[in-house]
Structure 1
Amino acid sequence: MIEFQHVHKSYNNGFIALKDINLKIEQGEYVAVIGLSGAGKSTLIRCINRMHDITDGSLQVNGVEVSTLKGQEIRTLRRGIGMIFQSFNLVSRMSALKNVLVSFVPDMPFWRKALGIFTKQQKIEALEALDQMKILDKSFTRVDQLSGGQQQRVALARTLAQKPQIILADEPVASLDPVTAQQVMSDFQRINEELNMTIIMNIHHVELALEYATRVIGIRNGEIVYDGPASAVTENVLNHIYNGKLKEELTMV
């Protein structure tokens, strides 16, 4: 479980990104975080894996207070939390398989890291992750030769290989065409349902959020202004979240 209690986040320039966030997310939920640009969506999910430190309040993941962790404790936390980015964060000159194998590097002995030697079991698990994402046939293809959707699937396979309990996704379909975005969102939905994996996604595409997520959190000016089932989101709710600027926001995507 993920629990925010009176969480605040401000930056050194004085900008307040999150204001008194109180939130519980249970294991197996598929949550979409929506709102205007700069509303605090990315900050919210990046606090969960300590990419950003909170300024005040309590943030716990499975009963562990995230803000007090140090060194190896932070690395252990992040092993259980996969992170998917808009830009895929793949090594373009390497094959899909080698990109997935990178997920094992943090736990490897130094000499294996230095020589790039992976065990047979690690290779099997990496191939299984690619197969799970239905991209096994691209295992030995350089990722810069893959489409955007295929690259995002490789990124998902890399995350699955580390066997996380939680996946955080920061605008994972923002750079994809509409058809491919639908396919990738379906992949997230399948992972959520088949593996009972918690997925928390910051997303601009409101229609995709409502179609695929089961729960929607709306943020405006750093505050949660809506938290409920995706099926209950109405035009009035969207106007409240976006302060009447939804159409303007969508033209910026």
Structure 2
Amino acid sequence: MIKFEDVGKRYPNGYEGLKHIDLEIEQGEFVAIIGLSGAGKSTLIRTINRMHDVTSGKLTVDGTDVMSLSGKSLRRFRRKVGMIFQSFNLITRTTVINNVLTAFVPDMPWYRSVFGIYNQEEKMKALEALDKVGILDKAFVRADQLSGGQQQRVALARTLAQNPEIILADEPVAALDPVTAKQVMNDFTRINKEMNISILINIHHVDLALKYCSRVIGINAGEIVYDGPAVEVDKEVLNKIYKGGREEHE
């Protein structure tokens, strides 16, 4: 379980990114986080793996106080929390399988990581991860030869190779065309159901959030203004979430 208790995030310049966040997310949920640009969506998910530190309140994952972690304990914790970005973050000048294999680098002896020496078990896990997202046939193709959707699937496979309990996705389909975005969202849905991985996705496209996610959290100016089933999100709820901005949310 991910649990926020009166969590706040204040940046050094005084700006409050999060205000009094109280939230519980059970294992296996598929949650969309929606709101205006700058509302606090990315800040919220990035506090979970300590990319951002909370400045007040308490954030726990499976009973562990995230802010109490450091060094090796923080690195071990982050192995359970996969992170996927809009920009894919791939090494484009090498093969797909080499990109997935980088998931094992944090646990490898320094000499293996320096020279890129992977054992048979690691290679098999990487191939299995690629198979799970339907691009096993691209394993030995250079990453820069793939489409945007295929590159995002490589990023997802790399995360799956970690064997995570949680996946945080920060605008993972924002750079994709509508058809490809739906394909990637289908991958997330299948992985969520088949592997019982908790997925929190910060997403701009409300239509995709409502179609694929079971729960929606709406944020406005750092505060949660809606938290409930996707099927109950109506025009009134959307007006509350997007109050004060002009972004499209159809």
| TM-score normalized with structure 1 length | 0.97
1:143 aligns with 2:105: no
Give the AA of the match of 2:226: Y
Instruction: Please say if residues 219 and 241 of structure 1, whose CA atoms lie closer than 8 Å, have aligned partners that are also in contact.
Output: yes
Count of residue pairs the alignment pairs up: 250
Give the AA of the match of 2:134: K
Match of 1:240 in 2: 240
1:79 aligns with 2:79: yes
Match of 1:120 in 2: 120
SS for the counterpart of 1:24 is: strand
Distance in 1 between residues matched to 2:110 and 2:244, nearest whole Å: 54
Distance in 1 between residues matched to 2:101 and 2:63, nearest whole Å: 30
Match of 1:107 in 2: 107
Distance in 1 between residues matched to 2:180 and 2:22, nearest whole Å: 34
TM-superposed CA distance for 1:250, in Å, is 2.6
Cα offsets for 1:156-214 (capped at 9, x unmatched)? 00000000000000000000001000100110000001101100010000000000000
Cα offsets for 1:111-166 (capped at 9, x unmatched)? 11122100001000100000111000000000100000000000000000000000
**What fraction of aligned residue pairs are identical, expressed as a percent?**
65
1:58 aligns with 2:58: yes
Distance in 2 between residues matched to 1:105 and 1:71, nearest whole Å: 16
Match of 2:188 in 1: 188
Match of 2:44 in 1: 44
Distance in 2 between residues matched to 1:216 and 1:44, nearest whole Å: 14
SS for the counterpart of 2:247 is: helix
Cα offsets for 1:83-130 (capped at 9, x unmatched)? 000000000001110000000000001111122100001000100000
Unaligned runs of 5+ in 2: none
RMSD of equivalent CA atoms: 1.1
Distance in 1 between residues matched to 2:187 and 2:221, nearest whole Å: 31
| TM-score normalized with structure 2 length | 0.98
Distance in 2 between residues matched to 1:65 and 1:244, nearest whole Å: 34
1:34 aligns with 2:38: no
Give the AA of the match of 1:112: R
Distance in 2 between residues matched to 1:146 and 1:216, nearest whole Å: 32
TM-superposed CA distance for 1:68, in Å, is 1.2
Distance in 2 between residues matched to 1:16 and 1:232, nearest whole Å: 29
Match of 1:90 in 2: 90
